Chain A
């Protein structure tokens, strides 16, 4: 029993050590040449443009549901007109960054882990190294940069779709006037909310990218291992997204307001 716990602890410590080493190598490679510009652009396109639909849909339906739910609750206090404020504040400060990040963990993080995992088990990563290419610069940096910088863009898009869906529901289902809704959306927002809505996705995107790369590059065990790596990447990144958001929120509230 003790040896099982020891083995688990040891492997956990090694895993964290390997992740930290990857983070350091990635940061070092981001700030020093050579750069693979073409790969960076390709990843921005694949990760950013490729995720537009899923993020837009997530934002739209979340905003719509939020408007319906909060409209009903606000009715009890005779404050139905504040529905815009509630939708915008919850989406921009919290739900937008977290839901977009969870979608990216599922779509992008898993893709990165599966792609790098397949390359690892088929010796393509070793082949890259043998050909004199640093896999961190060639594969990790473009992916991490793309998720980190596309996450805030996608979050803004999700927020916009959510607020628009909230307007649609407010006008059609809740009987709130268009002008009232939009005034309420703007009234409920502070500059700190906008910063929070932009900074959080950057951090969460970085977590998703680095976790996907770390898990992918440490894949072992053939095609079964690739499947395991993909699942692990989604699970770890999703849990980390929620945990990191929890720790970031009070920090940002202290700094930004």
Chain B
């Protein structure tokens, strides 16, 4: 049986701002339902990859394909259909301050013209999935950091995108809250079959997402240690000075003898 076509393809993508090279000929692919985790120091170009994928930035060279469509040469208006398949969770959430939690989650559904009763039903469903029902009428300013990230995930998943992009979704959170966010990432990937692209410099969170899976047991959802096959579906890419310094799974990352990788692991 032929292998499934990758859902995201980066082919020799380069980007520079004035004289500063951000990415140099970056190439990778993401398979449907799999996880790609980008690691690297601050300023290594991790978040830029997500912005390139959503078309928020245009590369200087190379091609970017999302679900078989080129995104690097399209205008904002032409990218609307591609963006329907991409849900982005921004650093700090980027929730709309003037809208309540429910309105934030409903934003795209209503903007796309979904009938109001259907949109609000979907909002209830999503907030229920994330355990955020009691926060529906709150404004973002009344939420904690962890709650804001979870609402941001709820907003990104509400319109059922095929790919979710997480930009430092756990940065600045305590380990318990970070795990709550990690668990949502795992649940969405394994229950909703969403491909996940995770950008982080929190190694602990990266390993948590790569080495755990969500299973249903008697109507309950549980997060357990992933099977070896499942673990192999999560791939790590470590960026250094705009190029890919390491690429492999969690086991290979842990076994790496490279000094830069080791300095990250220690």
Contacts and interface: CB of A to CB of B under 8 A. Distances in A.
Interface in B68-115: 76-77, 80, 83-84, 86, 88, 90-92, 94-97, 107-108, 111-112
B90 A133 contact: no
Contact-size category for A: 10 to 19
B94 A123 contact: yes
A70 to B, nearest CB: 46
A122, A123, A130, A134: residue with the most chain B Cβ atoms closer than 10 Å:
A130
A134 to B, nearest CB: 6
Contacts, number: 47
A128 B90 CA distance: 11
A130 B80 CA distance: 9
Given A130-B56, A130-B83, A134-B76, A124 B97 contact: yes
A126 B56 CA distance: 7
B195 interface: no
B12 interface: no
B22 to A, nearest CB: 16
Given A130-B54, A130-B56, A132-B84, A123 B76 contact: no
Nearest to B84: A132
A127 interface: yes
Contact-size category for B: 20 to 34
A131 interface: yes
B108 A131 contact: yes
B96 A124 contact: yes
Contacts of A134: 76-77
B83 A131 contact: yes
B67 interface: no
A123 B76 CA distance: 16
A124 B90 CA distance: 9
B130 to A, nearest CB: 17
Contact of B96 (A127, A129, A130, A132): A127
B90 A127 contact: yes
A123 B91 contact: yes
Interface string A110-153: 00000000110011101111111110000000000000000000
22 contacts: A119-B97, A122-B92, A122-B94, A122-B97, A123-B92, A124-B94, A124-B96, A124-B97, A126-B51, A129-B54, A129-B56, A129-B76, A130-B54, A130-B83, A130-B90, A131-B108, A131-B111, A131-B155, A132-B80, A132-B111, A132-B112, A133-B111
Given A124-B96, A127-B90, A132-B108, 9 more contacts: A129-B54, A129-B56, A130-B54, A130-B90, A131-B107, A131-B111, A132-B80, A133-B108, A134-B77
Interface of B: 51, 54, 56, 76-77, 80, 83-84, 86, 88, 90-92, 94-97, 107-108, 111-112, 155
